[in-house]
A and B are shown apart, each in its own frame.
Chain A
Amino acid sequence: MTVIKVPKPPKSAMNPDRPASSLLKTQILHMQEAEFRLPVQQQTNIYINRIKTEREAAEYIRQVTAQLHPEGATLVTDIAAMAERPPHPGRKGKIRAAGKTKPTRKVSAKRKKG
């Protein structure tokens, strides 16, 4: 059986501070569309127009997806599946895009109905 070695990318490949691509910007817009349909208390306090970097986009995406699909946060107990990931000191990078003021957003249908 042939074994093919697959090199890992260098650590320098990681650049969460690069500008968010058009794909990520689109994903954010779609996320916002979904977010505004959530109950207000589940909505983020993030003004997406201030999202510039991949890091900021990632944090917004994470917060909205956590509301849409909380099951996605389930930790995997399969150690073998996790073994391929490199160790890291921990999460960092607070999103800078949280604004003190936000544009008016839609009130969810539930709240409208009272």
Chain B
Amino acid sequence: MPPGIDSLKHIVVLMMENRSFDHMLGALKAKDPRIDGLTGNESNPDAAGAVVKVQALAEFQGQLDPDPDHHFPGVDLQIFNGDNGNPRVPNMQGFVRSYFQQQHDAQHAQKIMYYFTPDKLPVLTTLATEFSVFNRWFCSIPGPTICNRAFAHYGTSFGQVGMNIFEIRVPIKSVYERLDQANPRRTAKIYYFDQTSSTMEIVNLLQHQPQLFGTFDQFLADCKQGRLPDYSFVEPNYNDHDSDSGALIASDQHPDHHVQAGELFIAQVYNAIKQNPDLWSSTALLVVYDEHGGIYDHVPPPACTPDGFVAQPNDTGTGRAFAFDRLGVRVPAVLVSPWIPKGTVVDGRIFEHASIPATATNFFLGSYDQRTPREKSAETFLDLLSLSTIRTDAPEFQVD
């Protein structure tokens, strides 16, 4: 086994909010053609049929207001542009039309095609180019946050395509419960930012298993003191609020929160791990986004192994049932470890949020059967830790 896997003790997942791959990393294609980003010729028709091209004009805040539609019917329009044929082929041509429907402002709707230049995202860009970036990491459902995050925790959303509270169906357990109840027991924790931001996993996890939770301050302390659990899931700050220590700007990058605040947060997570040498050499950090937020991406989501659930037409809002047999839109995903060759571009393999519990369960528990077919067939990512010698050239982030 490669020494990176032999020495691996911790997996950390940081899940950010609502940005597509092309929006955040598409410009990197110009720097590295292996990265499946933007050429500049990608386009969508507007409501009148005029061509709207992608443009490197994304700003940190103030553009994507109102929040672009990222619920199931809206995303269906974005992916299929109103095609009602059978079968349907995703064409990724409906983003401008979808955003236009929110305000009927043709000029404003074009902003859904804007993307960031790399200099504006020094942290994500650095991690993507210094470590590994996934060309094909898709969100698990063509829909919103709650059901997508569920795939990261359970390998399924139990038939949910929306934001409603979902009911856990035994015997599927969260990855945290699997580890906690294993013999020998493994450790897992969800670190939410603070009580005022809290977690998105309230009803099923925080309410019933509060012992699984910690705060971001505790994450920082645990990194410094070498007490990080085997598996950690980190949530950013979901809202602007004051605290005893000062004003805290939302760091989740969900529109219309400031993107630089999220960059800062990602840097803090990275630095916390890297500044403890023992932790740095034994940790794999995945930075991923829960869904695309309604923002343009050019790669059609592929079909996938169903998870055994079906959402009925009344629940999808599209007039069609959904068998969880197609992934959602592509999102940024980078894997960080000093055992990953510099400039790794992961191509030709499909990843999605079920890859997260699949990877953690396979690594910490080995054989484990009580999972959905979707998770059992999901790609895992620890093979990227392939170097025979640990790198000593990893960058550091200096927070001003």
Contact = CB atoms under 8 A, between A and B. Distances in A.
Contacts of A76: 217-218, 220-221
Contacts of B396: 1-4
Given A33-B203, A68-B207, A76-B218, A23 B242 contact: no
11 contacts: A5-B122, A5-B397, A13-B260, A14-B240, A22-B67, A23-B145, A30-B203, A68-B207, A82-B245, A84-B399, A91-B244
B305 interface: no
B213 interface: yes
Contacts of A6: 122-123, 263-264, 267, 397-400
B249 interface: yes
Interface stretch (A40-48, A56-64, A96-104, A105-113): A56-64
Given A7-B260, A68-B210, A61 B393 contact: no
Given A4-B397, A6-B399, A90 B238 contact: no
B256 to A, nearest CB: 7
A68 B232 CA distance: 20
B268 interface: yes
Given A13-B249, A72-B215, A87-B246, A58 B241 contact: yes
Given A68-B202, A78-B220, A78-B224, 16 more contacts: A4-B122, A6-B398, A7-B260, A13-B261, A23-B17, A27-B238, A30-B165, A30-B203, A33-B203, A59-B241, A61-B196, A71-B214, A85-B245, A86-B247, A91-B244, A93-B242
Contacts of B250: 54
Contacts of B145: 23, 26
Contact of B195 (A27, A62, A91, A92): A62
A39 interface: no
Interface in B181-205: 192, 194-200, 202-203
Interface string A66-95: 101101111010101110111110111100
A34 B268 contact: no
B239 A58 contact: yes
Contact of B246 (A22, A64, A73, A85): A85
Contact of A31 (B144, B202, B245): B202
B163 interface: yes
B254 interface: yes
B60 interface: yes
A73 B245 CA distance: 13
Nearest to B242: A91
B323 interface: no
Contact of A4 (B123, B192, B203, B257): B123
B260 A8 contact: yes
A15 B249 CA distance: 8
A76 B210 CA distance: 19
Nearest to B201: A30
B243 interface: yes
A13 B252 CA distance: 13
B248 interface: yes
Contacts, number: 188
A71 B210 contact: yes
A34 B126 contact: no
Given A5-B398, A9-B260, A33-B165, A61 B207 contact: no
A4 B260 contact: no
A71 B207 CA distance: 13
A90 B398 contact: no
A5 B400 contact: yes
Interface string B51-87: 0000000001100000100000000000000000000
Given A33-B165, A61-B197, A68-B206, A18 B221 contact: no
A71 B242 CA distance: 19
Contacts of B171: none
B108 interface: no
Nearest to A17: B240
B9 interface: no
A37 interface: yes
Nearest to B268: A84
A13 B239 CA distance: 12
B29 interface: no
A55 B241 contact: yes
Given A6-B263, A69-B206, A80-B224, A1 B393 contact: yes
The 10 A-B residue pairs with the shortest CB-CB distance in the complex, in nearest-first order = A88-B246, A13-B258, A76-B217, A81-B220, A62-B196, A58-B241, A9-B260, A2-B395, A65-B198, A26-B163
Looking at A23, A69, A87, A91, the one whose CB has the most chain B CB atoms below 10 A away is A23
Contact of A61 (B198, B240, B255): B198
Contacts of B249: 9, 13-14
